[in-house]
């Protein structure tokens, strides 16, 4: 019997695996007699004990039977299910298992991370992908020391399950920071630590919405928020955005017309518009009048250049209709997966219960590190460095666009954030995808704004992130893009 042997691997496992594979494939049929352990050991050049161990494993698992005086034979196995037919996805003529309504919706909309050129066929030297912050200003040595200290001093409880709301130290640090930097009205009891802004969106949708409930979203909007609401069966009401953010006058006015409105008022995503005070007050009055909650996504408000960050809508809320969400992904790094919700008191308990059911709690060690990082002043120092660097890179992008495209482009939004929305009035939208692929072939990654609209815009637009690119790469990338376009 020919069994390939690799001396660098465990011998009996190789013999066992080969025989098992041959039996399952049908090449060794039921009732067929296997070589004696002595004969097979001699043929393979291994010890008899090695073959005995392999046979014993096969006998224990029911693949073969050993009888005194008659040797070892292949057992009679029950019929196995045929493999999936690659074209139909059916098993032996039967349909696949039924999914829930939620599962069907997930399968239909496929809300997986959108592919980028970086992950496909091109090596990108200049990648204007949004969502990747600059890592150069991040104090890795400080973080490493804090992390080691937290691990070394953790008691047995520190390695056990934690509270779903988050550890008190981090909730207190977040509350203190938001009160000072964003004028958010809160204390630690209203802060829920979550696994990034995506979990905040998912928890909000699960706790506040029933299938068929109406949700107002901005048009354009954050695509992943739309997918969360959509897969839970919400009815989406897109309301247009102008140079002042969500057009509050276009909100549905009937009481009960919407259960939730999702907004990015401090730096509208993706247009970059800032909602003025009058609209913020009108939004809160509308929410109280129709009985809706406001989910305020403050995803990158720390990055505002030339003036102070605009205070949060939540700080104006007197009717407790606003749930405020933020994330550390843009100011620290996305792999950390830490964010937070500031909730009206009545919502804290149900949200904490939903968080407990979803994943019990966010990693407590990382929470300890971030709490110390904030309390010791490292967060503020890092933010000042990161903000200054991002401002220089935004300026480099705008200057390069002006130099190489001139009045062919319109750069949307305020002097804030980590991306720019760039419109090309002389490029038909039907040609944009082809131009994006041509740019990728030359090593420049750029991305259409169309996925952030329910109704794709007539104009061609690009979402251009710049935070992770040195100024020289931004200028070189835009020059190469201009040659391609």
User: At residue 114, does pLDDT exceed 80?
Assistant: no
Name beta bridge partners: 326.
Answer: 340
Total-model pTM? 0.81
Number of C-alpha atoms within 13 angstroms, CB side, residue 174?
30
Look at residue 248 and give its three-state secondary structure: helix
Which numeric CATH code is attached to 140-376? 3.40.640.10
Is 427:467 a contact under the CB 8 Å cutoff? no
Q: Tell me the per-residue pLDDT of 343-382, one tens digit each, with 9 for 90 and over.
A: 999 999 999 999 999 999 999 999 999 999 999 999 999 9
Is 108:114 a contact under the CB 8 Å cutoff? no
Question: What architecture is domain 114-131+382-484?
Answer: Alpha-Beta Complex (3.90)
Query: DSSP readout, 121-138?
Result: T---SEE--TT----TTS
Q: Does residue 340 have a cis peptide bond before it, meaning omega lies within 30 degrees of 0?
A: no
Q: Residue holding tokens 């720390």?
A: 302
Is 296:265 a contact under the CB 8 Å cutoff? yes
Q: Tell me the per-residue pLDDT of 131-140, one tens digit each, with 9 for 90 and over.
A: 888 889 999 9
User: Rounded CA gap, 222 and 375, in Å?
Assistant: 31
Name beta bridge partners: 11.
Answer: none
Which numeric CATH code is attached to 11-74? 1.10.10.10
Name which of 31-35, 80-84, 163-167, 414-418 the model is least confident about. 80-84
For residue 283, the model assigns a pLDDT of 98
Domain boundary assignment for the chain: 11-74, 114-131+382-484, 140-376
User: Rounded CA gap, 392 and 308, in Å?
Assistant: 17
User: Rounded CA gap, 76 and 26, in Å?
Assistant: 11
Mean pLDDT, residues 408-425 taken together: 92
User: Rounded CA gap, 51 and 12, in Å?
Assistant: 6
Name which of 67-76, 81-90, 158-167, 452-461 the model is least confident about. 81-90
For residue 33, the model assigns a pLDDT of 92
């Amino acid at each position: 019997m020919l069994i390939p042997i690799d001396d660098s691997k465990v011998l009996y496992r190789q013999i066992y695996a080969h025989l098992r594979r041959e039996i399952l494939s049908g090449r060794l049929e039921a009732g067929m007699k296997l070589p004696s352990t002595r004969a097979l050991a001699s043929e393979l050049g291994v010890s008899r004990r090695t073959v005995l161990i392999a046979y014993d494993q096969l006998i224990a698992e029911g693949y073969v039977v050993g009888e005194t005086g008659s040797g070892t034979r292949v057992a009679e196995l029950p019929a196995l299910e045929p493999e999936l037919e690659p074209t139909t996805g059916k098993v032996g003529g039967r349909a696949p298992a039924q999914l829930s309504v939620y599962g069907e919706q997930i399968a239909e909309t496929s809300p997986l991370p959108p592919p980028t050129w970086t992950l496909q066929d091109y090596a990108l030297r200049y990648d204007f992908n949004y969502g990747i912050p600059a890592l150069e200003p991040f104090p890795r040595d400080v973080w490493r020391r804090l992390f080691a200290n937290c691990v070394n001093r953790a008691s047995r409880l520190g390695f056990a399950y934690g509270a779903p709301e988050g550890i008190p130290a981090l909730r207190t640090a977040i509350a203190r920071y938001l009160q000072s930097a964003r004028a958010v009205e809160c204390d630690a009891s209203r802060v829920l630590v979550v696994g990034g802004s995506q979990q905040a969106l998912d928890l909000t949708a699960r706790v506040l919405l029933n299938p068929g409930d109406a949700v107002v979203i901005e048009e354009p909007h954050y695509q992943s928020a739309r997918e969360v609401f959509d897969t839970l069966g919400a009815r989406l009401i897109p309301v247009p955005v102008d140079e002042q953010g969500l057009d509050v006058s276009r909100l549905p006015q009937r009481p009960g017309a919407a259960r939730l409105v999702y907004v990015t008022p401090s730096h509208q995503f993706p247009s970059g518009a800032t909602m003025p005070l009058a609209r913020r007050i009108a939004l809160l009055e509308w929410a109280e009048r129709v009985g809706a909650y406001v989910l305020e996504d403050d995803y990158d408000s720390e990055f505002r250049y030339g003036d102070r960050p605009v205070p949060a809508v939540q700080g104006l809320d007197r009717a407790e209709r606003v749930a405020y969400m933020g994330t550390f992904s843009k100011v620290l790094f996305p792999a950390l997966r830490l964010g937070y919700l500031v909730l009206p008191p009545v919502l804290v308990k149900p949200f904490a219960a939903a968080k407990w059911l979803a994943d019990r709690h966010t990693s407590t060690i990382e929470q300890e590190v971030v709490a110390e990082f904030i309390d010791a002043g490292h967060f503020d120092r890092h933010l000042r460095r990161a903000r200054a660097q991002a401002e220089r890179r935004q300026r480099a992008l705008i200057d390069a666009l002006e130099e190489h495209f001139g009045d062919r482009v319109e750069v949307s939004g305020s002097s804030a954030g980590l991306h720019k929305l760039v419109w090309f009035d002389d490029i038909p939208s039907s040609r944009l995808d082809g131009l994006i692929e041509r740019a990728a072939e030359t090593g420049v990654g750029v991305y259409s704004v169309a996925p952030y609209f329910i109704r794709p815009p007539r104009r061609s637009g690009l979402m251009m992130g710049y935070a992770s690119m040195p100024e020289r790469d931004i200028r070189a990338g835009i020059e190469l893009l201009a040659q391609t376009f």
